[in-house]
């Protein structure tokens, strides 16, 4: 029985050794695979990082060039607007100067003219005893009619700017 047990023990030890060899080879293969996968992941990560860095640098250059173009356009538009504002202000000043000179000319011309004489009005004999009241500064006049006279409608064809009266 001892021989059987020894044979079984030898058989178990050889199976254990062969299982250990298989496990060791499997573990080594798994370790190599993991190591290879990690290396390729590291390479892929470096490549992705490099591509991303290149893309960021390219975008930065594009943004900087667009910002420079925008600044050039802003300065150009600023010059145009400034020039137009200056031209508008100068033309306003020139127009104000012309208006001042024209006003001074008209004032000087008006100062040299004699004051206008009031028109001479012929008063009909029916209006004797009436009074004329003039407005402030010569603006308009009111005629106070004598008793017995009142305003009336003028006949057709009497002309314009006339006032007709009737005796009561």
**Predicted local distance difference test score (pLDDT) of residue 152:** 82
Which of 90 and 141 is assigned the larger pLDDT?
90
Residue 115 has pLDDT above 70, yes or no: no
Mean pLDDT of 121-138: 69
Tokens of 89: 């202000």
Asked whether 165 and 144 are in contact (CB, 8 A), the reply is no
> What local confidence, expressed as pLDDT, does residue 73 receive?
92
Q: Which two tokens stand for residue 104?
A: 């001074």
């Amino acid at each position: 029985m001892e021989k059987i047990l020894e044979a079984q023990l030898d058989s178990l030890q050889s199976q254990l050794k062969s299982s250990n060899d298989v496990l060791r080879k499997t573990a080594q293969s798994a370790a190599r695979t993991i190591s290879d996968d990690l290396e390729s992941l590291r390479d892929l990560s470096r490549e992705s990082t490099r591509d991303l860095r290149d893309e960021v640098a390219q975008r930065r250059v594009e943004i900087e060039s667009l910002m420079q173009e925008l600044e050039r356009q802003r300065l150009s538009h600023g010059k145009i607007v400034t020039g137009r504002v200056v031209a508008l202000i100068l033309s306003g000043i020139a127009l104000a100067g012309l208006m001042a000179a024209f006003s001074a000319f008209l004032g000087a011309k008006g100062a040299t003219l004699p004051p206008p004489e009031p028109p001479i009005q012929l008063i009909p004999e029916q209006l004797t005893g009436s009074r004329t009241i003039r407005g402030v500064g010569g603006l308009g006049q009111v005629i106070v009619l004598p008793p017995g006279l009142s305003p009336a409608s003028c006949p057709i064809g009497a002309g314009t700017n006339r006032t007709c009266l009737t005796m009561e």
